Amino acid sequence: MTERSLLIVCMNYAPEQTGCGKYTGEIGREMLSRGHDVAVVTTPPHYPGWRVAPGHSNGWSSEVSDGVRINRCPLVLREKMGGVSRLIAPASFALSATYESRPGSADRSMRQAFAILPPPSDGVTTVTLPAR
């Protein structure tokens, strides 16, 4: 762990090419290029179709992409994502991301953490992290 270690918590991350996923992937790569040790807690790519992208599973997985450590958590997805399902998906990510980000977990000894919102549930995980 370095003073420049950073944990990004977000429901969408690269390789998603729309919305927050694209933006957050760019932030992760930029922070790495500026000398930060970057880890991400996110979901499998699933947006905008609300289906897990080919080559990924809706479970726990880890990978390194462009030098950024990415830890993917499951989330609840329904065939028809509307109404209550649109609330359940981010809430399920908040639960799995909080578990994945717990102290003692691999890569979770980060000095700084931030959440990319929406959804507001991502902020729940970030505020539960203890100060380091």
CA dist 128 and 73 (Å) reads 17
Output phi, psi for 98, to 5 deg: -65, -40
What pLDDT is attached to residue 41? 92
DSSP element (H, E) containing 62? strand 61-65
Contacts of 79 (CB under 8 A, 6+ apart): none
Q: Band of the pLDDT at 48, cuts 50, 70, 90? A: confident
Q: Estimate the crossing angle of helix 121-128 against helix 85-100, to 10 degrees.
A: 20
Question: What number is the average pLDDT over the span 14-24?
Answer: 89
What pLDDT is attached to residue 100? 84
Q: Is the pLDDT of residue 58 over 80?
A: yes
Question: What number is the average pLDDT over the span 49-78?
Answer: 93
Give the CA count within 13 Å in the CB-facing half-sphere of 108.
19
Residue pair 112/6 in contact (Cβ under 8 Å)? The answer is yes
What pLDDT is attached to residue 124? 56
What pLDDT is attached to residue 114? 78
Q: Is the pLDDT of residue 34 over 80?
A: yes
Name the token pair of 31: 């922070």
Mean pLDDT over each residue of the chain, to the nearest integer:
83
Output phi, psi for 7, to 5 deg: -110, 125
Q: Is the pLDDT of residue 27 over 80?
A: yes
Give the CA count within 13 Å in the CB-facing half-sphere of 2.
9
Q: What is the pTM of this model?
A: 0.82
> In this predicted model, what pLDDT tens digit does every residue of 73-131 receive, in sequence order?
999 998 888 888 778 888 898 889 888 877 666 555 667 777 776 655 555 555 555 55
Residue pair 103/110 in contact (Cβ under 8 Å)? The answer is no
